[in-house]
Amino acid sequence: MSREAIVENEAKSPASVLPVCNKCKHHIEGVKCAAFEVIPDKILFGEDNHSTVLPEQSNLLVFEPK
Q: What is the pLDDT of residues 48-62, one digit of tens each?
A: 999 999 999 989 999
Residue 6 has a pLDDT of 52
pLDDT score at 65: 94
pTM over 0.85: no
Give phi and psi for 9, each to the nearest 5: -95, 0
The whole-angstrom separation of Cα 58 and Cα 66 is 22
Q: Is 45:21 a contact under the CB 8 Å cutoff?
A: no
Q: How far apart are CA 36 and CA 54, in angstroms?
A: 10
User: Phi and psi (nearest 5°) for 25?
Assistant: -70, -15
* φ, ψ dihedrals at 65, nearest 5°: -60, 150
Query: How confident is the model over 17-59, as pLDDT tens digits?
Result: 567 888 999 999 888 999 999 999 899 888 899 999 999 998 9
